[in-house]
Amino acid sequence: MLALLCPGQGAQTPGMLAPWLDEPVLRERLESYAAVTELDLVALGTTADAETIKDTKIAQPLLTAASLLSFQALGLADVPAPDVVAGHSVGELAAAAVAGVLRDEQALVLVRERGRAMAEAAAARPTGMTAVVGGKPEEVEAALARHGLTPANVNGGGQVVAAGTREQLDALAADPPARARVIPLQVAGAFHTEHMAPAVGRVREVAATLEPADPGVTLLSNADGAPVTSGVAALDRLVTQVANPVRWDLCCEQLLALGVTGAVELCPGGVLTGLARRTLPGVETVAIKSPDDLPAARELMTRHGGTR
């Protein structure tokens, strides 16, 4: 059984779209995405520096466009379609498009407004996110509670992302859980927490203008890892996800329960396939970073797809 994974914020890197634009069809598609997002995605994906593309209102549309562009390049004419799709945080919007819940343009409109709304919410107060790697789960949980932090991303494999104010994160760095590494993340706010509550209303307003379809393949939700069978329910979960934790650990448990044997991570791949080595034992993976990775991805899809 085959899974397709869509990475989330923080996976972006400078120049990540440059290798894709040698193909005129892909350049034209990216330019059409740029018109929808009202951003110069060609420049942002090729020449912009890391600080520029860290900006939430840029990073989120850029990541969604990258995943959708690589999905188009992957092509499904000669390889099986995925059996199940999942995305991490903002990657869930690309996953919804891949699953047929939203058209590409709808996903890009939603992510455009999501990024803007979350950037505005983040600007209200200095907040951020820190990865906590290792340590006993109960001790990590106690440390976050002690400092008033939210486990915003529970990624599995001994990795939890704490989110909160800069003061709270500084306190965690000074008083970390035993036997755990504390790694500040290059993101601009405390995403998936109460600090993002002001953004939810704006995202809901935009979502209300869209007409989602029911998923054409199994689509997993970040809320609890459960398959979402209704397009309306999927869209509602995309809205509430903005201010609620991402349970990627539960998505991974569901992938294993469904019998997934192979997984391809769309561009900019690497983060989720890295996690998969700890959270998806026995599952073969390919991360798509550039067009050079497409043959390996297609080969994996051919061997693992079409088994439902």
Is 192 an active-site residue? yes
Distance between CA 292 and CA 276 in Å, rounded? 21
CA dist list (Å): 95 to 64, 143, 150, 288, 291: 9, 33, 25, 15, 20
Do residues 162 and 190 touch, judged by C-beta distance below 8 A? Answer: no
Find the catalytic residue in 147, 192, 195, 304: 192
Distance between CA 149 and CA 176 in Å, rounded? 12
Place of tokens 């990216």: 30
Pairing of strands 127-134, 180-184: antiparallel
Distance between CA 175 and CA 147 in Å, rounded? 9
Q: CA-based Rg of the chain, rounded to a whole angstrom?
A: 18
Closest by alpha carbon to 92, among 213, 258, 288, 242? 242
Is 221 an active-site residue? no
Buried b (16+ CB within 10 A) or exposed e, 220-239: bbbbebeebeebebbbebbb
Do residues 286 and 265 touch, judged by C-beta distance below 8 A? Answer: yes
Closest by alpha carbon to 108, among 49, 179, 38, 27? 38
Torsions phi, psi for 211 (to 5 deg): -120, 95
Do residues 263 and 280 touch, judged by C-beta distance below 8 A? Answer: yes
Closest by alpha carbon to 184, among 6, 30, 10? 10
Find the catalytic residue in 67, 70, 89, 221: 89
In one-letter notation, the amino acid at residue 152 is A
Active centre residues (catalytic): 89, 192
